[in-house]
Structure 1
Amino acid sequence: MTGPSFWHDSLPQPVTPRPPLPGDSEADVVIVGAGYTGLWTAYYLKKADPGCRVIVLESEYAGFGASGRNGGWCSALFPSSLSKVAKVAGSRDAAIALQRTLNETVDEVGAVTKAEGIDCHYAKGGTIILARTPVQLERAQEEIAEFREYGFGEEDHRLLTAEEAKAELAATDVLGATYTPHCAAIQPALLARGLADVVERMGVQIYEQTPATSIWNGEARTPHGNVRAETVVRATEGYTKTISGFKRAIAPVYSLMLATEPLTDAQWDEIGLKGRQTFSDGRHLIIYGQRTADGRFAFGGRGAPYHYGSSIKPEYDSHPRVHTELKRVLDEMFPVLRDVQVSRTWGGALGVPRDWFASVGYDRAAKLAWAGGYVGDGVGAANLAGRTLADLIRGKRTPLTALPWVGHQSPKWEFEPFRWIGANLGLRVMDGADAEESRTGRASRRAALFGRFLGS
């Protein structure tokens, strides 16, 4: 093993961190965080203005966090529904514009990675979300109805019959599914590391092993020196709590994953996913998976506890009970996998805002820009955030800067211990809701009530 995830382990060579910041420095833009958000922002800034002096500061190395550990879905997903976006924006058209732009973003990532020679195993097979109980099927039908209400046709989202769904993915107990073509499976660490190499060749200075401890009035402070700039970009997602003054802005929630050993062609013939579709099902406690380019099942889900004080530690990357449960769920869905070995388990922190509404923004007076709060749907959204930040920082008014997540301010999370109590109560509620729905055949009222607590 050469890194914190299977994706890092399978890089062509082990990661060698770049040197830290050598001392005090100046730039036009300093970006804190070398994940997707920070790297895409640097990329589009340099594409628009090659003379722009950009410095990226990273506490570990590019792609160390969620950008190198996630499920590899470059999707058009947004953590809030169309109706919630329309309510927040006060406009149906704004919600439609955001969704259509996210749809297009999946292709943008594919086009840029191809043009820049980043081989991240990009395969646009779409996403299939299975309905495996009558309640899940009802929710799938409601989801498609909402998309129709907002003008999205079958070319964007469609409902599959049980037979159609099983032809794509032969899981047990399938009653139907939704399908969208707007998703690509990727190898996330390859994308993060490749993008870092590209922006470095463009003239961006990347200093790894350089944690920023505070950002204030155009200055990012680190143990190795301070960087002054006209704009500081906070691109720290699940690690935002490490920046002084931002501990309650984003809650780090752990998502855990496993990768099986490579499967045989016969096993894949029995399972499906011939186009490397990403997949999930309609349960409340989220699961997600993909067929990797080398023929493994990469499968993950929620279930790990929130840690008091938004704590982030390497030992939280492993949770034997949750990893065992993930393998049980995988075996239950695909009995052909029961004797297949797990070759790697891992985990990592993703960023959750209090209202589950991702945002991008720029306070020019404070010299501070930010993006994040993707709730696990950041592979595609981070690209859109990077393009949007590049426009905002350069003072350009474009269709991207008019999207409804721009300038959105999520409320802060509660003080402890209320944050810890609420987050872990929610975990129990959603876990219990899935069991309740399987037992009763009715939608869980507890899940609906907790959804209101989150503002959905």
Structure 2
Amino acid sequence: MAARAMNSTSAALSDASPIPYWLDDPGRPAPEPGLTGDTTCDLLVVGGGYSGLWTALLAKERDPGRDVLLLEGREVGWAASGRNGGFCAASLTHGIANGLSRWPDEMPLLEELGARNLDAIESAVHRYGIDCTFERTGEISVATQPHHVAELRELYEEMGAAGLAAGSELLDEDALRAQVNSPTFLGGLWDRDGVALVDPAKLAWGLKAACLSLGVRIHENTPATSLTRNGAGMAVRTLRGGTVRCAQVALGTNVFPSLVRRTRPLTVPVYDYALMTEPLSAGQLAAVGWHNRQGLGDSANQFHYFRLSRDNRVLWGGYDAIYPYGGKVSASLDQRPETFDGLAGHFFACFPQLEGVRFTHAWGGAIDTCSRFSAFFGTAHGGRVAYAAGYTGLGVGATRFGADVMLDLLSGEETERTTLEMVRTKPLPFPPEPFAWTGVALTKWSLARADERGGHRNLWLRTMDRMGMGFDS
């Protein structure tokens, strides 16, 4: 039976392209020319993912006369912004449970700000005509083990006590399987309005077009290499040898080494992997249900996330988060056949009615992870430089909020965002090697053990919980 399953997954993966599905698009825009000489601007944005794109766009919306320049080391959206699952969540805290454990007094405001941020993203998508298949279908957290059912019920009750349960619905097994049919599903918690699904690459490309339409200057294939003071402003050198002199800098480099070196120990890269199926037939789709097209994620520590694309493919990702020793980001890590085999097996265990479906794409990419699992913010060089990072896989929506925070910080004005404890505090740094690798490996092993033992967290995980570094979703 095991050999048959292995042969089945191997056959399903045999023709999978190693390119991220979203980036494998004939409509992918041509890159803007690289910067070849010296130039000046009012605001320099470093990074052409969501973080940098939203910062540049919002800066021009706030002040159309501001001269904004964006530098991207490769092509806009090529990294995490173009290869994620496309879950655009309102949550700014990597879920209510994580937020309640860290900033309980601020959670009502943080949830309100997150909802307003998601509304603003939807508004921008319509205002700029961004064709990214924005579907506000919500997300269901799925129980696949009996202890998950109890945990979701406990979370729902905790949300209710905090006044945060509006728009959420607890589903029993029958109610959940009426939404999406899997023999592994035992119950769920449906956030009806707090998550939208998007084509992530098209969102990035649409933001690029919106920036250009407002007069943002964009230079791709232009890595920034250093950041120094330049009189009353800043100077950023590029790998091409040019220098950008500017009044202010916003850093949206996330998983890549920050030009503010002291912040580098606050994040580590973790590689996440995903598969995309061929389009489901009408019969296959009927066998699964999924009439309301929600995003889904199971409740295990090593969890899967899955959703439908515009043409009814199933994206299936997650589970096997990989930390590379030394925290090195390398394209060689984008492919991991043993992870793809495991994910394919898990997919067919979840949806046995889809046996015979083939995967057309298999890819990976690095996520910037911090010890509190939600973004942190700050300034450097006397307030001339702002940064935001550490989104830990939930940056599709939260990066727009982070862009607003960076612009608030650069303005020097106190706002409801800059007064938040979440914004004013930093996560604990990761230790140097070999301790970082050992700690991550031990945590991953312990989380897998907890999944196998009814959610029981061992001494290591309980210690991490007490230190504020516990992760359970």
* Structure-2-length-normalised TM-score: 0.89
Residue 189 (structure 2) pairs with residue 178 (structure 1): yes
Describe how 1:102-251 pairs up with structure 2 within 5 A.
Answer: 102-153=114-165, 155-181=166-192, 182-217=194-229, 218-224=234-240, 225-240=242-257, 244=261, 246-251=263-268
The one of 55, 75, 81 equivalent to 1:61 is: 75
Per-residue CA distance 1:373-398 (angstroms, 9 max, x = gap): 11101111011112232333234433
CA contact (8 A) 1:241 1:248 kept: no
Aligned-pair CA distance for 1:200: 1.2
User: Per the alignment, in what secondary structure is the counterpart of residue 104 of structure 1?
Assistant: helix
Q: Distance in 2 between matches of 1:59 and 1:79?
A: 28
Computed over aligned residues only, the root mean square deviation of the Cα atoms, in angstroms, reads 2.2
| Unpaired segments ≥5 residues, structure 1 | none
Q: Distance in 1 between matches of 2:343 and 2:353?
A: 15
Residue 41 (structure 2) pairs with residue 38 (structure 1): no
Per-residue CA distance 1:28-47 (angstroms, 9 max, x = gap): 11111110011001111100
Describe how 1:42-441 pairs up with structure 2 within 5 A.
Answer: 42-79=56-93, 82=96, 85=99, 88-89=102-103, 92=105, 94-153=106-165, 155-181=166-192, 182-217=194-229, 218-224=234-240, 225-240=242-257, 244=261, 246-363=263-380, 365-437=382-454
CA contact (8 A) 2:222 2:239 kept: yes
Aligned-pair CA distance for 1:337: 1.9
Per-residue CA distance 1:67-124 (angstroms, 9 max, x = gap): 10100000123455657646655x61x2211122112322221111011000101101
Q: Distance in 1 between matches of 2:380 and 2:158?
A: 34
Per-residue CA distance 1:147-198 (angstroms, 9 max, x = gap): 1121123x32221111111111112232210010211110000000110111
Aligned-pair CA distance for 1:363: 4.3
- Letter of the structure 2 residue corresponding to residue 419 of structure 1: A
CA contact (8 A) 2:93 2:99 kept: no
Q: Distance in 1 between matches of 2:383 and 2:228?
A: 8
- Letter of the structure 2 residue corresponding to residue 445 of structure 1: N
- Letter of the structure 2 residue corresponding to residue 104 of structure 1: R
- Letter of the structure 1 residue corresponding to residue 214 of structure 2: M
CA contact (8 A) 1:254 1:304 kept: yes
Pairs aligned (count) = 448
Aligned-pair CA distance for 1:216: 3.4
- Letter of the structure 2 residue corresponding to residue 286 of structure 1: F
Q: Distance in 2 between matches of 1:449 and 1:78?
A: 25
2:34 equivalent in structure 1 = 20
Q: Distance in 1 between matches of 2:263 and 2:225?
A: 11
CA contact (8 A) 1:259 1:343 kept: yes
Q: Distance in 2 between matches of 1:30 and 1:319?
A: 36
Q: Distance in 1 between matches of 2:19 and 2:58?
A: 28
- Letter of the structure 2 residue corresponding to residue 256 of structure 1: Y
Q: 1:450 to 1:72 in 2, by over 3 A?
A: same
| Unpaired segments ≥5 residues, structure 2 | 1-15
User: Per the alignment, in what secondary structure is the counterpart of residue 216 of structure 1?
Assistant: strand
CA contact (8 A) 1:238 1:252 kept: yes
* Structure-1-length-normalised TM-score: 0.92
CA contact (8 A) 1:95 1:404 kept: no
User: Per the alignment, in what secondary structure is the counterpart of residue 406 of structure 1?
Assistant: helix
Q: Distance in 2 between matches of 1:80 and 1:14?
A: 30
Identical residues among aligned pairs (%)? 30
Moved more, 279-288 or 157-166: 157-166
